[in-house]
Amino acid sequence: MQNEDPIRDPHELLESLDNLHPSDIAYSLKKIENESVDDFFYILKNLNEEVLGQVLLELPDNLREAAYNELSAEKLTEAVDELESDDATDIIQEIEEIDIDKAKEIYEGLEEEDRKDIDWLKRYEEDEAGAYMQTELFSAKISETIGESIKRLKHAKAEAELENIHQVFVTNDEKSLIASIPLEDLIIFDFDKTYESILNEAEEFKYKPFKVSDDTHIDEVAKNVEQYDLSVVAVVGYQDILMGRITSDDILDVIEQNATEQIYQLAGVHEDFEHEEKVINTAKKRAIWLFVNLGTAILASLVIGLFDKTIQAYVALAILMPIVASMGGNAGTQTLAVMVRQLALGDIELENAKDAVKKEVLISLINGLLFAVIMGLIAWFWFDQKLLGLVIGTSMIVNLFSAGFFGASIPLFLKKLNIDPAVGSTVLLTTVTDIVGFFSFLMLAKVILL
């Protein structure tokens, strides 16, 4: 594989630039920056404009920002000029946040056509398909011959305007997208034929294009790419006018990003605020979640407070009660993770969710019984009191049952309300398992032991 060790020596890196993928250059630059910021900037300034933009895109946020400040507007303009429209737009928008004048200077240094593309792409919300598309693509009019369109491709490739082309998008006279022909088919056709005749001869649905509207949510696009094993999706606007394309490498990033978000949300972390320059801002965002958790912990404590006399009479209850809550919390988390993930993957849908809930409740009942016996025996021998074993055993069944039921229901409930099931479900669940755990254990103790 290409994935070699980073080059840590600045001179060696400078000499090897031509053989390296931008991603490898960025990786080496990261290491070099650790040793010397000057070396980092020196190499950056010596990168040629063809790779500079790509390298910038692969750098971590903080280094990219440093580069925006250090590099001249001219150098940045050259770099942006080499990028595809979606990447160019991203970089200009990032520079705008740091230095609006510099961003303007770069923007004005671009050709008019590129400026128009950027103006257009900037209008999209960050989760819309339009924000992910590149406007550079290979298209042909239906009346054209294949040979004519390939001549255009040749020219565009010589000018380095097109890359990663896997198909030709065929449009009608109204510029609406009507077909997508993979290059593997195109290359074996007679180049003198027109697209019209090719399409007339083909089976009806053979070249039906996979397309999304420019305002489609990117998660929806990702789902389709996965489901239909696509490498490219066309993006269309009003009346199916062809506007751009989204390639599978962008979709890979979306899927990786969504998985990160889901893991973070389950743990009470906001992905957006984890890359803040200032630690205090990250801490603040995390504190919000901890604050909610504090509220629910106090609720659980209030429940314990109801039984202060019982605890005073049997201090063993204070010793054992965290076990019930902890087991409920863990069993519930297992169920929750499975439900949240399977809802996200579409393996569970609202309409067939009953079976999933039943299964989870059954699992938690089985384990409730198992741990009721184990923990009942442990408590009995530990404190030499049979009834205490009965209390904790019964409470274990109650709490694991409710953990399974609520662990399965809470994500479904959130989903029904159109809330992301990963958000807030953990805190709702632990509130339930803590309160049910403490209450059932102490209440049973009060009734049975006193």
Tell the burial category of 235 from Cβ atoms under 10 Å away from its Cβ (0-12, 13-18, 19+).
buried
End-to-end CA distance of the chain: 70
Token digits of residue 284: 């603040």
Question: Of the two residues 93 and 326, which places its CB atom closer to a second copy in the complex?
Answer: 326
200 vs 362: CA distance, rounded Å? 57
Q: How far is the CB of 392 from a second copy (least distance, A)?
A: 11
Question: Of the two residues 71 and 407, which places its CB atom closer to a second copy in the complex?
Answer: 407
Question: Of the two residues 66 and 255, which places its CB atom closer to a second copy in the complex?
Answer: 255
Lookup result for tokens 């849908």: 349
Return phi, psi of residue 174, to 5°: -85, 10
Question: Of the two residues 101 and 308, which places its CB atom closer to a second copy in the complex?
Answer: 308
Sheet holding 242-247, edge to edge: 211-213, 232-236, 242-247
236 contacts: CB under 8 Å, gap ≥ 6 = 176, 177, 211, 212, 213, 214, 242, 243
Q: How far is the CB of 340 from a second copy (least distance, A)?
A: 8
Q: How far is the CB of 19 from a second copy (least distance, A)?
A: 6
Lookup result for tokens 């209440």: 443
Q: How far is the CB of 142 from a second copy (least distance, A)?
A: 19
Under DSSP, is residue 428 helix (H, G, I), strand (E, B) or coil?
helix
273 vs 278: CA distance, rounded Å? 10
Q: How far is the CB of 191 from a second copy (least distance, A)?
A: 9
Read off the DSSP letter of residue 7: P
Q: How far is the CB of 315 from a second copy (least distance, A)?
A: 5
Element (H, E) at 110: none
Closest by CA position to 75, among listed 111, 112, 37, 45:
45
Q: How far is the CB of 218 from a second copy (least distance, A)?
A: 12
138 contacts: CB under 8 Å, gap ≥ 6 = 149, 152, 153, 156, 162, 165, 167, 168, 169
Q: How far is the CB of 243 from a second copy (least distance, A)?
A: 15
Q: How far is the CB of 400 from a second copy (least distance, A)?
A: 8
264 vs 447: CA distance, rounded Å? 42
Question: Of the two residues 104 and 152, which places its CB atom closer to a second copy in the complex?
Answer: 152
Under DSSP, is residue 305 helix (H, G, I), strand (E, B) or coil?
helix
